[in-house]
Amino acid sequence: MHLGVNIDHVATLRQARYATMLDMHNVEPSPLQAAQAALRGGADSITLHVREDRRHMQDADAFAVRREVPLPLNLEMGATPEMLEFALRLKPDYICLVPERRQEITTEGGLDVASRVDELRPMVQALAANGSRVSLFIDPETAQIEAAAAIGAPMVELHTGRFANTLGAEREAETQRLIVAAECGHALGIEVHAGHGIQIANLAELNRVPHLTELNIGHTLISRAVFVGLEAAVREMKEAIAAFKW
C-alpha cells in the first residue's frame, strides 16, 4: 500500500502569517522541509494542491519539491486551462484532478466527471502525453467511475470524507458504497486510491474496501506532527497501514 503524504497544511500555516511577506528571511514553516521529513518517515509520494487562487501552496513550493525531493510528486489541481498550463510546466509524476468550484462538485464532494467527459478527456490526454499519470478525485459512485474509464483515466481516488465523518449505519452504508465503487474500478482496469479524512482510527474499517493501492493522507499527519514531528507521524502511519493486508 502506497502512502501519499499531503503537505498542504504546512503551507496553510505559513500563509496564515506570511501570505503578504513570502520574500522575507524568517518565513516558516517550509513545505519543502515537510516533504523532506515525509521522505525520511517513509512516504511513498508527496501530494500538494496548488489552488487557482494560490491561497496555500505557491508555484515555487511545487517546483522546489519537484526539484529537491526524490519521491514521486502528486499534484492536486482544478481542471482548468490555467492549471493545465502550470502542470505541463511542472511535469509531476501524478496529477489528481479535484473540484475547486461549487459547480464542479457532485453531491458528496468529488469531481463531477460524468457531466464533463468531453471536457476532461483532452486534458487527461494532454497530461498523459506530458508524462503525468492522471487520477480523478470522485465520489464512490459507479457512474463516476464509468465516466473516468470512458475518459481513459488510469486511476481514481475515492472520496472517503463521508466515510470518515459518519458513524453507525451511515458509516456502514458509505463503506458499502466504497466497496462497490472499488470493485467497479478494479473490473474496469482502473487503479483505485482513497483519500480525505483517513486516520489511524479508521484504517481497520477502510481495510474492508478491496483493491486499494494508495492512500493520500494529510490532516491527521500534520496534526500529529505538532506533537511528535512529521517524520515520526509518517512513520507511525506507515506502520499502522502495514499492520493490515490490503
Q: Which residues contact 129 (CB under 8 A, 6 or more apart)?
A: none
Among 31, 78, 140, 218, binds ligand PXP (CB under 6 A): 218
Nearer to ligand PXP, 16 or 24 (CB): 16
Measure the CA–CA gap between 31 and 82, rounded to whole angstroms: 23
Among 32, 98, 149, 190, binds ligand PXP (CB under 6 A): 98
Nearer to ligand PXP, 109 or 229 (CB): 109
Q: Looking at 76, 100, 157, 174, which residue is catalytic?
A: 76
Cell numbers 449505519 correspond to what residue? 169
Nearer to ligand PXP, 175 or 195 (CB): 195
Identify which range of 11-19, 27-35, 200-208, 215-223 contacts ligand PXP by CB under 6 A.
Answer: 215-223
Identify which range of 31-39, 176-184, 203-211, 216-224 contacts ligand PXP by CB under 6 A.
Answer: 216-224
Distance set, CA 50 to CA 53, 67, 89, 97, 113 (Å): 8, 16, 13, 11, 20
Check residue 198 for interaction with ligand PXP (CB under 6 A): yes
Residue 159 burial by Cβ neighbours in a 10 Å radius (0-12, 13-18, 19+):
buried
Instruction: Give the residue among 18, 15, 14 at the shortest CA–CA distance from 29.
Output: 14
SS3 132: coil
Kindly state the number of chain residues that form the binding site for ligand PXP, as judged by CB under 6 A.
16
Check residue 57 for interaction with ligand PXP (CB under 6 A): no
Is 56 a known active-site residue?
no
Identify which range of 35-43, 172-180, 190-198, 231-239 contacts ligand PXP by CB under 6 A.
Answer: 190-198
Is 174 a known active-site residue?
no
Is 146 a known active-site residue?
no
Q: Which residues contact 49 (CB under 8 A, 6 or more apart)?
A: 6, 8, 56, 57, 75, 76, 77, 98
Q: Rounded to an integer, what is the distance from CA 83 to the centroid of its chain? A: 16
Among 35, 44, 99, 137, binds ligand PXP (CB under 6 A): 137
Q: Which residues form the interface with ligand PXP (CB under 6 A)?
A: 6, 49, 76, 96, 98, 137, 157, 195-198, 216-220
